[in-house]
Chains A and B, each alone.
Chain A
Amino acid sequence: MEMIKAENLSYEYIKVTETEKGTKEEKILALNHVNLSIEQGSFVAVLGHNGSGKSTFAKHINALVRPTEGVLWVNGYDTQNEELIWDIRQSAGMVFQNPDNQLVATVVEEDIAFGPENMGVPSEQIRKRVEDALNAVGMLEYKQHSPAKLSGGQKQRIAIAGVLAMKPKCIVFDEPTAMLDPVGRKDVMNTILQLNKEEGMTIVLITHYMDEAVKAEKVFVIDDGNMVLEGTPKEVFPQVETLKSYGLDVPQVTETAYELKKMGISISQDILTVEEMVGAICQLKSTI
């Protein structure tokens, strides 16, 4: 079943800028007839440079904005229908870039309880939800801590637990690791992968880090509001020149394989990880 389905989704808005010479208005087409579908339980990555429209797309999933043309279904709900807004937001949770902007309480467990409390969940169930959510992100021992004293990666995992406590079917992550150090990034990525594999959560990950995107089952590339590439990481990343033209990176190993091929070495082009690269070189060496 499809968790998210977009049909001819377009979003247009009027940008008003204040300058010293007065106000200026221009029409911006942030999303241009986008079609896509994301299966329930899958893990997809959305790539694109800043201003490409990927965050606008993410906001549609949560009905923070609505299509100006076309339709978007989330868990079968049409986001155009205002009466369904709470069903939609409960189906698809969102985690943003900066954890500091998402934490509301002074104690971790209270922060996690905030969502379910607002949903009117009975208090004995809230307790269980809080524990389960903290357990899922590996932060149960920090239940009584103050979020302010945690590291960036830990805060982000608390933000994820806060979303989990609302029991969504899908979580949209908008550059969740952009502000974290390598250790924090690794912890958050492991948490995301675990939610997908063990809890069957549908994951939409917006990222600039290609080493994160290669872990997805499917990759979508958005450029200037258009869906320009779509496929498995092995289909998308070997298109080195195309990706660079969209202002994106490719993993260093993929680029190395691409360059070696150009020099006449018959090395596979869909290498995405260090292990695959090491394997490919060893194999080439043994066949020479």
Chain B
Amino acid sequence: MSIKINHLTHIYNADTIFEKTALNDVNIEIQKGEFIGLIGHTGSGKSTLIQHLNGTISPTSGEILLDGENIHKDKTKLKEVRQRVGLAFQYPEHQLFEMTVYKDVAFGPTNMKLTEQEIDKRVKEALQTVGLSETVYDKSPFELSGGQKRRVAIAGVLAMNPEILILDEPTAGLDPKGRDEILYAIKQLHKQRGITIILVSHSMEDVAKLADRLIVMEKGHIAMTGTPKEVFARVRELEKIGLAAPQISYVITELKEKGYNLPEDIYTVEEAVKALYTLLKGEE
């Protein structure tokens, strides 16, 4: 399913003294199967944007097209839109409530009035995708570690079989191990199911590892878009809008500013090691 956003503007509290333009003439196209990293500092409009994508809030002006169809054209279809576009909020583990992991993941599909058999299949598939084995099925979700809880919550969204999955800060507050587990699960999910993923994050290291394309937001509009390589090469601009590139990008940028000949588009440790090795050994 492709997403097309045309001239989307959203104004909170319009015509009052609290009026605030959260999105200002945003235009984006996202292809089926793309892995998008959506970054921007608090208040840049990224949460407002993702809430538009599954019809949680409506545009002040402009339109959101899913496979060419305006999601607000027929309001009775919004429920279907929300099934097709799954949204995992920040701290999704706060939304866990069932007695067992299995029941919690089954909640969505049960409400969709699917057959027992289909529900069972979806729950098992979703839990497998996020890397949770049968041993946790009967456990209380509250017994699990932070990273596991969050994976259960994501499985709950997955069990609705969305075509697009939006994850709002899925690694916030986790330790490095929990973070790596979640990121691995998301990567697998994208690989296995080929669904479109939009990952909202402050962590440049995280998005650098996963996304095909980045969308950088600032003050309600799109400030940059491009591959991670293209975006992280613009370290100084990112800094100006309150974002940070991965630490290693700064090393490369500073060395380049000192006149050393290095490729511009380095943002992982592996790439940096290779480039610096060539720089140091190349002239011997």
By a beta-carbon cutoff of 8 Å, the part of chain A in contact with chain B is: 17-21, 49-51, 97, 151-152, 175, 178-179, 181-184, 208, 211, 247-249, 251-253, 255-256, 259-260, 263, 265, 274, 277-278, 281-282, 284-285, 288
Q: A251-B247, A285-B279 are in contact. Are A50 and B273 (CB under 8 A)?
A: no
B96 within 8 A of A: no
Q: Which of B56-64, B110-118, B250-258 contacts A (4 or more CB under 8 A)?
A: B250-258
Decide: B255 and A181 in contact? CB cutoff 8 A.
no
Residue ID in chain B nearest A255 by CB atoms = B269
Q: A182-B242, A253-B247, A253-B248 are in contact. Are A50 and B279 (CB under 8 A)?
A: no
Decide: A17 and B254 in contact? CB cutoff 8 A.
no
Closest beta carbon of chain B to A27's beta carbon, Å: 16
Decide: A263 and B277 in contact? CB cutoff 8 A.
yes
Closest beta carbon of chain B to A107's beta carbon, Å: 19
Q: A151-B42, A183-B242, A255-B269 are in contact. Are A278 and B276 (CB under 8 A)?
A: no
Q: Which of B65-73, B80-88, B171-179, B222-230 contacts A (4 or more CB under 8 A)?
A: B171-179
Q: Which of B6-14, B125-133, B138-146, B183-191 contacts A (4 or more CB under 8 A)?
A: B138-146
Q: A208-B176, A249-B176, A282-B255 are in contact. List 5 more A-B contacts (CB 8 A).
A: A183-B41, A183-B242, A252-B246, A259-B269, A260-B276
Q: A17-B140, A50-B175, A179-B172 are in contact. Are A278 and B258 (CB under 8 A)?
A: yes
- Alpha-carbon separation in the docked complex, A20 to B138 (Å): 8
- Alpha-carbon separation in the docked complex, A274 to B246 (Å): 11
Decide: B175 and A182 in contact? CB cutoff 8 A.
no
Residue ID in chain A nearest B275 by CB atoms = A256
Decide: B175 and A208 in contact? CB cutoff 8 A.
yes
- Alpha-carbon separation in the docked complex, A183 to B280 (Å): 35
Residues in chain B near residue A19, CB distance under 8 A = 138-140, 143
B53 within 8 A of A: no
- Alpha-carbon separation in the docked complex, A50 to B276 (Å): 34
Decide: B276 and A281 in contact? CB cutoff 8 A.
yes
Residues in chain A near residue B272, CB distance under 8 A = 252, 256
B210 within 8 A of A: no
Show 5 residue pairs from A and B whose CB-CB distance is below 8 angstroms, ordered by the A residue: A51-B145, A182-B243, A182-B244, A260-B276, A281-B279
- Alpha-carbon separation in the docked complex, A232 to B260 (Å): 32
A-B interface pairs (CB < 8 A), number = 106
Q: Among the listed B43, B176, B248, which residue makes an inter-chain contact with A256, where contact means beta carbons less than 8 Å apart?
A: B248
Interface size classification for chain B: 35 or more
Decide: A281 and B255 in contact? CB cutoff 8 A.
yes
Decide: A50 and B145 in contact? CB cutoff 8 A.
yes
Decide: A274 and B176 in contact? CB cutoff 8 A.
no
Q: Among the listed A208, A259, A274, A282, which residue makes an inter-chain contact with B258, where contact means beta carbons less than 8 Å apart?
A: A282
Residue ID in chain B nearest A277 by CB atoms = B251
Residues in chain A near residue B28, CB distance under 8 A = none
B100 within 8 A of A: yes
Residues in chain B near residue A181, CB distance under 8 A = 41-42, 202, 242
Closest beta carbon of chain A to B11's beta carbon, Å: 19
Residues in chain A near residue B42, CB distance under 8 A = 151-152, 181, 183-184
Decide: B276 and A256 in contact? CB cutoff 8 A.
yes
Q: Among the listed B100, B173, B247, which residue makes an inter-chain contact with A274, where contact means beta carbons less than 8 Å apart?
A: B247
- Alpha-carbon separation in the docked complex, A253 to B138 (Å): 43
Residues in chain A near residue B281, CB distance under 8 A = 265
Which 3 A-B residue pairings sit nearest by Cβ, starting from the closest?
A247-B177, A50-B175, A252-B247
Decide: B173 and A178 in contact? CB cutoff 8 A.
yes
Residue ID in chain A nearest B243 by CB atoms = A182
Closest beta carbon of chain B to A25's beta carbon, Å: 13
Residue ID in chain A nearest B238 by CB atoms = A182
Interface centre among A50, A152, A263, A288 (most CB of B within 10 A): A50
B284 within 8 A of A: yes
Decide: B176 and A182 in contact? CB cutoff 8 A.
no
Decide: B269 and A252 in contact? CB cutoff 8 A.
yes
